[in-house]
Chains A and B, each alone.
Chain A
Amino acid sequence: MRWQTKERAVEIIVSSVGLISVLVLLLIGFFLFKEAFYIFYKVGVLKIIFGMDWYPTYDPPSFGMFPLIMGTFAVTALTAIMAIPLGLGTAVYIAEVANHRVKEILKPLIEMLASFPSVVLGYFGMVVIAPILSNWLSPILSEKLPELLRSTNIPFISTTLAGLCYDKLFISSGLNITTAALMLTIRAIPVIASIAEDALTAVPRTYREASYSLGADKWETIWRVVIPASVSGLSVAVILGIGTIIGETMIVLMVAGGAAVVPHWMFDPARPMPAAIAAEMGEAPYRSLHYHALFGVCALLFLITFVLSLISDFISKKYRSVKIGEKA
């Protein structure tokens, strides 16, 4: 009977460890929504989500989260424009183009980049990228370039376009959503590249063989066979990459500029949701409206990332069963 008791004991220990982490997560979720509920109840869901003013410490306070939501949206969109092509391109290069030795070096390197502390990226953005943008790039783009355009004396270019450059390419502060997006891109590329590379590598060799045997070259095979066959994995890579960007706190806190206004242009500052939470939670009096409002931001953020992971989970489950030579 000894070994059976032992087995039973191991089973109980392992399952309780598993249960504890699930339970803790559930409790956190419950606590989050419980604390967030109050502000939505008190102020009203629409007023919070579409309210334009985030003045949590004014008297009377205003808890419009729209600027924060749009801050997150703007930073995420700008980052996605850069990170998705770069991440997927890196994956295609590693999986399909690089020779064996380069691949052996590059793949672990990219994965190491994913574990780079984001505070370091934020610091780098703050002390290197931001000054470059405001002290070096801004004079070139908003002074030298319009001058050059004016001197051409071509209608429209010397007037309208030059004026537009003068107005729009002046970067008053290096801490803005473009700087944040650049740093977030570095953060997101390894996430996207690493998952996408796995997806590309998982495409059965038989598909490639079939394509080559029909007289397709390498690019045709990649473009018409490998990428379509791994499109679910590639979408998961993109979605998880976006999830990382949305939840990333330290970088946006340090370099996004922190102004709680809706950004209208790529050199405007913003205060994305995670930055607002991190910056204000320490200052908000316990159980005050501000405290509940920050929990409201947390809950929204949680919902967004939760929906994203649900979508990626759905995509990967739906297509996982399709294998070569088996019925779909």
Chain B
Amino acid sequence: MVEITDIFEIKDFSIYYGDFMAVKNITLNIEANKITAIIGPSGCGKSTLLRSLNRMNDLILSSRVEGQVLFQGVDIYHKDTDVIELRRRVGMVFQKPNPFPSSVYENVAYGPKIRGVKRRSQLDEVVENALVRADLWEEVKDKLNESGLSLSGGQMQRLCIARSLAQQPEVLLFDEPTSALDPISTANIENLLQELQKTITIVIVTHNMQQAARISNYTVFMYLGELIEFGDTDTIFVNPQNKLTEEYITGRFG
């Protein structure tokens, strides 16, 4: 059997909000264990596309989709899809750090607990592992019982990453994860993403083109809901094929 290296296959995929077509007929493959960045000006549909990969758009009542998104060969918009299972395997980290108003420990243990893990020793282990992987353990190991909201912005965002990692996802979706952070916290998160990429697939939406250039393997450029260009990050940034892409990455609009 041929090993599937494309973890997501998006085929003729469109998303509507009511009558508005936010994402238009996109076909795109996302490779496993790589970082794929989605860039483009505000309102181009990049967050919408990202959120469709674990069906977070379901929460918006008026949204509907056309086409297919295959996750490991299985259509996630099929009516028999277990959305709960999908979201466990495809996690998400949001623009603004959003820890729950509970302790650091409880934040990370949330996912395992709803999955049914009850034994304290097992939870302890999962929590520690996740915090270590999110590069936060050293900073919070003495204050696991303090509020997650008492951490700094960058720490909170890494806490949110740890919270997702505790579910052992295969993919993590990042929706502008550093846009609310200072440069040092941003650098920490970027290093972390490159470390995580060794074990999981990462898709990141970013406004920051340097960020996309620094950390991603592949870059998708979207404009007004359409996929304009997709390719190796190096190619996109050094030698863009499309005039729009070139104008955007050189800062002529955006």
Distance between Cα atoms of A322 and B149 in the complex (Å): 9
Other-chain contact of A328, B111, B147, B167 (Cβ < 8 Å): B147
A68-90 CB mask vs B (1 if < 8 Å, else 0) is: 00000000000000000000000
User: A214 touching B88 by the CB < 8 A rule?
Assistant: yes
Contacts of B1 on A, CB cut-off 8 Å?
none
Distance between Cα atoms of A206 and B101 in the complex (Å): 11
Contacts of B97 on A, CB cut-off 8 Å?
325
Which residues of A from 202 to 230 have beta carbons under 8 Å from B?
204, 206-217, 220, 224-225, 228-229
User: A214 touching B163 by the CB < 8 A rule?
Assistant: yes
Which residues of B from 67 to 125 have beta carbons under 8 Å from A?
84-88, 91-92, 94, 96-102, 110-111, 113-115
Q: How many residues of B contact A (CB 8 A)?
A: 34
Distance between Cα atoms of A228 and B100 in the complex (Å): 10
Other-chain contact of A220, B98, B114, B153 (Cβ < 8 Å): B114
- Chain B residue nearest to A325 (CB atoms) is B96
Distance between Cα atoms of A100 and B96 in the complex (Å): 27
Contacts of A11 on B, CB cut-off 8 Å?
none
> A207 with B100: in contact, given A214-B87, A215-B84 (CB under 8 Å)?
yes
- In the assembled complex, A324 has its CB within 8 A of some CB on chain B: yes
Number of A-B contacts (CB under 8 A): 85
How far does the Cβ of B114 sit from chain A's closest Cβ, in whole Å? 5
- In the assembled complex, A327 has its CB within 8 A of some CB on chain B: yes
Contacts of B167 on A, CB cut-off 8 Å?
214-215
> A210 with B114: in contact, given A215-B85, A228-B102 (CB under 8 Å)?
no
- In the assembled complex, B61 has its CB within 8 A of some CB on chain A: yes
Distance between Cα atoms of A238 and B91 in the complex (Å): 37
- In the assembled complex, A326 has its CB within 8 A of some CB on chain B: yes
How far does the Cβ of A60 sit from chain B's closest Cβ, in whole Å? 59
Distance between Cα atoms of A214 and B111 in the complex (Å): 6
Other-chain contact of B114, A204, A213, A224 (Cβ < 8 Å): A224
User: A213 touching B150 by the CB < 8 A rule?
Assistant: no
Contacts of A208 on B, CB cut-off 8 Å?
59
User: A207 touching B98 by the CB < 8 A rule?
Assistant: yes
- Chain A residue nearest to B61 (CB atoms) is A100
- Chain A residue nearest to B55 (CB atoms) is A212
Q: How many residues of A contact B (CB 8 A)?
A: 25
User: B100 touching A210 by the CB < 8 A rule?
Assistant: yes
- Chain A residue nearest to B148 (CB atoms) is A328
User: B88 touching A215 by the CB < 8 A rule?
Assistant: yes
User: B87 touching A212 by the CB < 8 A rule?
Assistant: yes
Scoring A100, A209, A228 by chain B CB atoms within 10 A of each residue's CB, the highest score goes to A209
Distance between Cα atoms of A31 and B175 in the complex (Å): 62
Contacts of B150 on A, CB cut-off 8 Å?
327-328
Contacts of B92 on A, CB cut-off 8 Å?
209, 213
User: A325 touching B180 by the CB < 8 A rule?
Assistant: yes
- Chain B residue nearest to A206 (CB atoms) is B98
User: A215 touching B114 by the CB < 8 A rule?
Assistant: yes
User: A215 touching B96 by the CB < 8 A rule?
Assistant: no
How far does the Cβ of B106 sit from chain A's closest Cβ, in whole Å? 10
User: B149 touching A214 by the CB < 8 A rule?
Assistant: no
List 13 A-B pairs, Cβ < 8 Å: A100-B61, A208-B59, A210-B99, A210-B100, A214-B114, A215-B115, A216-B84, A217-B84, A322-B149, A324-B98, A324-B149, A325-B149, A328-B147
Known contacts A209-B92, A229-B101; 9 further A-B pairs (Cβ under 8 A):
A206-B98, A209-B94, A209-B98, A210-B160, A215-B111, A216-B114, A224-B110, A224-B114, A325-B149
- Seen from chain B, the residues whose Cβ lies within 8 Å of a Cβ on chain A are 54, 56, 59, 61, 84-88, 91-92, 94, 96-102, 110-111, 113-115, 147, 149-150, 153, 156, 160, 163-164, 167, 180
- Seen from chain A, the residues whose Cβ lies within 8 Å of a Cβ on chain B are 100, 204, 206-217, 220, 224-225, 228-229, 322, 324-328
Top 4 nearest A-B pairs (CB, nearest first) are A215-B88, A206-B98, A213-B92, A215-B87
